Structure 1
Amino acid sequence: MSGNGERVVFVLDAPGDESLHTGGTIARLLDDGADVTVLFGSATSYDSDASAPTTASAGAADVAAARAALGETDPAQWRVLAGEPQGAQRRAVLGEAFAQAHATAVVAAAVDPALRQAAVDAAGEQGVPVFLSSRVSAVPGVRLTAIDVSDHIDKKLAALAAYPGRWRLDGRVVRLIDGTEALVTGTETYASGSGPAQPAELEAPTVGSRLLAVLMALFAGALFGVLGTVAHQTTIELGSLTIPVGLTLALLASGTLLLGLRLVVHDRLVVLAAAIGLVATVFLLSLRSTGGSVLVPAGVPGTVWSMAPALFAALVIAWPRIPARRPTA
């Protein structure tokens, strides 16, 4: 959302959808100096329930008014795909349009699944990042990015008002012809995708994959416990100062392991497995062996190493999930 040198292409079903689904984002990008291109698959709106185009449409005057309300002065930046292509031809046409626009990002906000997938595929072929509007695509398990458009609500409402044939406005409530309602809020949310090789909709982990992750985390925790126990007594003498290098590195490593798993995997069970492997290994190695040797001798380093991993594990597992930070301009 920096706007500096960004060239963003929006793909939607028909005129009016750009204002309803992405109007605030378009207005914000234009205000930030970005180059915005809006492509419509058809001049006629798409009905997801009927899986076919509807009769609701917008005239050239409506489109011009909406475009001006959002801040776009170049009519050529908003256009319907020539000939309203279908199938593989549509993907080729979209790819050519992305190349001509030198797109740095594509926003696929089409309700028509074929058009939306064509946009994702065309962008993937050119290595351009794709963002799916969360209002037109179900994305379970995918983190959403919320764009703050609170400063551009008035522009979005003005653009929506340019399409009286498609809906009616009552304050911030948009009443569509089919009777459904949509509330205009200060955020517009998107899910990132990348093309056919990595779809935006991620499948939930299977029982087998989750079990494998738990076992690997348990092994990693045990390994870190062994290495930390062996190294935690290592010190460096600097004059009269004794620096516990081994204990410091052992604590950093164990804490990084637990925190990294929590941030990357987002599964408390996996983190718990790593914590069990770590804490159990430290406990077992702290016991006196049959030969009388002790790997964790009494003293401050041994006490800290025996207690700190369990404390780290409790904090990391109990810490609430932190929502994604909202992007800034």
Structure 2
Amino acid sequence: MSGSAERVVFVNDRPGLESLLTGGTIARLRSDGAEVIVLFGSASAGFPSAGSLSAADSDVRAAMAALDVSDWRMLPAASGAQSLAEAVADVLDEVQATAVVLGAADDTLRTAAAGAAGSLNVPVFEHRRVTDAVGRLLVAIDVSGQVDQKLRAIAAYPRLWSVTGHAVKAVGPVGSVGRVGRVGPVGPVELPVTIGGTETFLRLSPEHAPDAQAAPGPLNRGLAAVVALLTGVVFGVLGTIAHQATVSIGSVTVPIGLILALSGITALLVGLRLVLGGRMAVLSSAIGLLGTIFILSLRSTGGSVLVPEGIPGLLWTVVPTLVATIVLAWPRIPARPGSA
């Protein structure tokens, strides 16, 4: 819920469930300026066939308009979980998704979407009722300001739902509307239901997201920290040696060495945070870098110094510390999907 930088993909079995299960969260994300893309995994009675979603479908259009969503798609017919996962991954890569929200009950679609998100390092959240996740830590989203939008979106599907006040019930037997009562791997929604001001989600860890990339183990994290430490030492030595270099352009003296040295250490620390996500490697690299700068800035027994007094020397000892502090303290850098 960090605002306009978010690009969240909601995956559901069929039109209608996105409004019932996650309509409030979708509306809140859109009110915060985030991009929302809704994917439907299969067609059902009264809706377009798989592979297309006609703009003439008034129910879907009305629901999406109520939630302020302009991008919704029907996933193509897939012959198996692998091809379905590839189709979902293509969408996630195209929109540069920062999160995936699952409302799918179909095991094939759920597994494919979670696996595609995991392969691209995109966080996965699954809609869960509180009673379906006893003992698990849920993410609760306050959607009290979006309840009216959610109700309008639900009411846009008169062939599925009947809305009276804040109460929603299925139209006809559940079986006649494509098992709309089932919302997840843990059980059905009991209809009628009263729409409240909170929607809850369970964040899936890599071991619960099928086919997701496994989290690095302690050995790999330790090795990464050692490599980052040595890299920081190397950058500290090279930067200390080069930071006093200058180039004269006419009457202007450009501190080319300082510029390259500061650019290099910034790229190193920011790159480690972006690629690895965590702070351990950045901290190790910063320790190697700043420790090396400190040691080399001391006067040697022979009286020579590598970091003489002056503006370049001052900047070389202060700026790396500021850069390391900012990169380490930054609360969250959204993961940018890469290749599987």
The answer to whether the 8 A contact 2:22-2:199 is kept is: no
1:264 aligns with 2:275: yes
Cα shift at 1:274: 1.1
Distance in 2 separating the partners of 1:174 and 1:249: 65
Tell me the equivalent position of 2:42: 39
Equivalent of 2:232 in 199, 218, 221: 221
1:177 aligns with 2:164: no
Equivalent of 1:310 in 321, 334, 339: 321
1:155–1:324 Cα change, 3 Å: farther
Tell me the equivalent position of 1:92: 79
The answer to whether the 8 A contact 2:240-2:296 is kept is: yes
Equivalent of 1:117 in 91, 111, 121: 111
Tell me the equivalent position of 2:222: 211
SS of equivalent to 1:309: helix
Distance in 2 separating the partners of 1:308 and 1:97: 48
Cα shift at 1:298: 2.3
Counterparts of residues 126-141 of structure 1 (less than 5 Å): 134-135=126-127
SS of equivalent to 2:322: helix
Distance in 1 separating the partners of 2:312 and 2:85: 60
Distance in 2 separating the partners of 1:157 and 1:183: 13
Distance in 1 separating the partners of 2:259 and 2:323: 14
Under a length normalisation based on structure 2, what TM-score does the superposition of the two structures give? Answer: 0.54
Distance in 1 separating the partners of 2:78 and 2:268: 43
- What amino acid sits opposite 1:218 in the alignment? L
Cα shift at 1:203: 3.8
Tell me the equivalent position of 1:158: 155
Tell me the equivalent position of 1:70: 63
CA offsets, 1:83-127, max 9 Å, x none? Answer: xxxxxxx9626789999x9x9638974224344335778x89xx9
Q: Percent same amino acid among aligned pairs?
A: 40
1:230–1:172 Cα change, 3 Å: farther
CA offsets, 1:292-322, max 9 Å, x none? Answer: 4322222221222122212222232223335
- What amino acid sits opposite 2:17 in the alignment? D
The answer to whether the 8 A contact 1:230-1:295 is kept is: yes
Distance in 2 separating the partners of 1:114 and 1:304: 56
1:304–1:184 Cα change, 3 Å: same
SS of equivalent to 2:42: strand
SS of equivalent to 1:288: coil
- What amino acid sits opposite 1:224 in the alignment? F
Equivalent of 2:293 in 282, 288, 294: 282
Is there any run of 5+ residues in structure 1 with no aligned partner, and where? 1-7, 44-63, 73-77, 82-89, 141-149
SS of equivalent to 1:237: strand
1:188–1:71 Cα change, 3 Å: farther
Distance in 1 separating the partners of 2:15 and 2:278: 42
Cα shift at 1:282: 0.7
Structure with the greater alpha carbon radius of gyration: 1
Cα shift at 1:250: 0.7
Distance in 1 separating the partners of 2:123 and 2:294: 48
Q: CA RMSD in A?
A: 5.6
CA offsets, 1:121-141, max 9 Å, x none? Answer: 8x89xx99x996632699x9x
1:245 aligns with 2:237: no
Distance in 2 separating the partners of 1:231 and 1:243: 13
Cα shift at 1:41: 8.6
1:201–1:162 Cα change, 3 Å: farther
- What amino acid sits opposite 1:300 in the alignment? I
1:303–1:157 Cα change, 3 Å: same
1:98–1:294 Cα change, 3 Å: closer
